[in-house]
């Protein structure tokens, strides 16, 4: 009786997995480079086209040359994009947190006036809350 291990020994399985892993890593690097090419604002249209042609027609050589020539810039551009994203996110949080969920100070003043009208607030409490809200 012939088993699967007789036809495909463990060492062959190891080499297959290694080559598969390297192929996936190369694809990841290729897509990362293509993304970097399109996101680089300093690179002209012709420069982008040239790098794309090199990376697509001679993929292994193109990727290797791109990493050697522009590898350091890839990291700097990625870090700058991350800083810009973080700053935009923090700005969004600040603006979202500063506005009240009910519609802003006009809605708060309306609620305060309604509470005063119902007698839940005295004139003095209303004026204090209004001053605090408008400050």
The DSSP string of the chain is ---HHHHS-HHHHHHHHHHHHHHHHHHHHHHHHHHHHHH-SSS-HHHHHHHHHHHHHSHHHHHHHHHHHHHHHHHHHHHHHHHHHHHHHHHHHHHHHHS-TTSSHHHHHHHHHHHHHHTSS-HHHHHHHHHHHH-
Tens digit of pLDDT for each residue in 93-135?
Answer: 877 766 555 556 777 888 888 888 888 888 888 888 888 887 7
Mean residue pLDDT of the chain comes to 86
Model confidence band, residue 5 (pLDDT cutoffs 50, 70, 90): low
Tens digit of pLDDT for each residue in 8-49?
Answer: 778 888 999 999 999 999 999 999 999 999 999 899 999 999
pLDDT of residue 32: 93
Give residue limits of the domains in the chain: 4-98, 102-135
């Amino acid at each position: 009786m012939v088993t699967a291990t007789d036809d495909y020994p463990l060492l062959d399985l190891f080499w297959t997995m290694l080559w598969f892993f390297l192929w996936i890593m190369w694809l990841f690097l290729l897509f990362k480079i293509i993304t970097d090419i399109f996101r680089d604002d300093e690179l002209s249209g012709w420069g982008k086209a040239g790098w794309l042609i090199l990376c697509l027609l001679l993929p292994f050589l193109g990727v290797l040359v791109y990493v050697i020539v522009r590898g350091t810039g890839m990291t700097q551009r990625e870090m700058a994009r991350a800083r810009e994203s973080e700053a935009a996110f923090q700005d969004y949080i600040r603006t979202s947190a500063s506005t009240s969920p009910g519609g802003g100070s006009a809605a708060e003043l309306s609620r305060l006036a309604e509470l005063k009208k119902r007698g839940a607030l005295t004139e003095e409490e209303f004026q204090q809350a209004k001053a605090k809200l408008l400050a």
